Amino acid sequence: MIKGAFLVEPLTENKISKIIDLGVNEISLKWEYCNEKHTDILRNQGIKVYAEFSVFVHEEMWRKHPGSRPIDRSGHPMEPVNGYYGVCPNHPKVREEKLMTIASVIENKSIDGLWLDFIRYPCHWEGVRTPPIAEYCFCPNCLEKYEKEVGGTPEGDKWVTWKCEQITGFVKEVRKRIEISGKSIQLGIFAVPWFDDEYGGAIRSIIGQDFRALSSYVDVFGVMAYQKFTGQPINWISDIVEAIDRTTGKSVVPLVQSMDRPEKVSSDEFEYSIGMAIKGSSKGMLIFHLEDLLMNEDKFKILQQVFNSCG
């Protein structure tokens, strides 16, 4: 069972001590924070290290490559949403630079796994409650590429299939980089927690994540099952895990929210959400995030007890 923790800040010796006390057997952190001094300590303790890599996101990309700013169907550029800057997944320079950096991470970092984050079309999915949902991207790069490869009006099944192929194709290229390296590195993606038919099939038409196609290249699906962010009941966590497991046949691991955002997660709710996360076909869980957990002694003890009681 994966007993994981996601970090949003660099490792410290104090955090390493807490990670060991918690009973964690896998941590995930930004690739920039993967320094050998700390990761070697963890790996020597039998704790696996996964590097998180943010793909199609960041304000820096908008500044560096203005053409990467997504365009909606009406021709309007995307505006930032709560600090989220989505990036067009078909901008050639963005794809090239991201793949080069990922190849460097694979080659130079001592890691057991790689998480691809923001591996999708732009959408602030956490805030979606009802359709319509803004769709991207209709920039010149996307329209020219679609016209060349498929042709016709960018709509309907052909358009949706093509969009998904752009995301799956990038993941396939990352898989190739891992194979070329000769290293034993697990590849995971962070999946938007939508059912196949939710919002009119938006997981494919808006997000561009075709779980069945992605399963050919992905070892583990990390489902961002943040019940408070999404306004979902806690039972939903196990439901979405089971659905993605049925579709992919691969390991599915939910990320469980510890943060009191946008409202408080009580200790009872937290304990119940852990139970929903690790039941059924789930292969474990990742707590999101460790730094928040360390500020709440009750929640820390709850998770510690669960992790220490599980094999």
> Could you tell me the CATH number of the domain that includes residue 308?
3.30.750
What is the predicted pLDDT for the residue at 310? 85
Contact 277, 237 (CB under 8 A): yes
What is the predicted pLDDT for the residue at 239? 98
Contact 291, 258 (CB under 8 A): no
Q: Which is nearest to 51 in space by CA: 107, 93, 122?
A: 107
Q: Is residue 191 part of a domain?
A: no
What is the predicted pLDDT for the residue at 162? 98
Task: Count the domains in the chain.
Answer: 2
Do 104 and 167 belong together in one domain? yes
Four-residue CA torsion sign, 121, 123, 128, 130: negative
Predicted TM-score (pTM) of the model is 0.97
Do 173 and 226 belong together in one domain? no
Do 162 and 77 belong together in one domain? yes
What is the predicted pLDDT for the residue at 139? 98
Which residues of the chain fall below pLDDT 70?
Answer: 311
Domain carrying residue 147: 55-111+125-185
Q: Is residue 300 part of a domain?
A: yes
List the structure tokens of 265: 């997660």
Query: Angle, to 10 degrees, between the axis of helix 13-22 and the axis of helix 36-44?
Result: 20
Do 27 and 107 belong together in one domain? no
What is the predicted pLDDT for the residue at 53? 98
Beta bridge partners of 86: 57
Q: Is residue 198 part of a domain?
A: no
What is the predicted pLDDT for the residue at 253? 98
